[in-house]
Structure 1
Amino acid sequence: MLIRRMELRDCDAVNTIYNYYISQTAITFDLVPWQTIERERWFAQFDTSSRYQAWVAEQNNELVGFAYNTAFNPKQAYLISSEITIYVAHDAGGQGIGSQLMQTLLNGMRQLGLRRAYSLITLPNPASLALHRRYGFQQVGQLSDVGEKFGKLHSVAMLECDLTR
Structure 2
Amino acid sequence: MEVIEESKLHESPVGFINGWVVENGFTSIAFLGSAPPLSAAKSRDITLSDAAGMSPLELVGSALPPDCLVVSDYLESMEAEAAIQLLAGYRNALIVSVIVFVDLAASPLTAKDFVALGFHHCASFEHEAHALHAFEYNINSYNFRRLWNNAENWANPENFGRYWW
TM-score range, shorter chain: 0.3 to 0.5
TM (norm. structure 2) is 0.40
Could you say which structure has the higher strand fraction? Answer: 1
TM-score, length basis structure 1 = 0.40
Determine which structure has more spread, i.e. the larger CA radius of gyration: 2
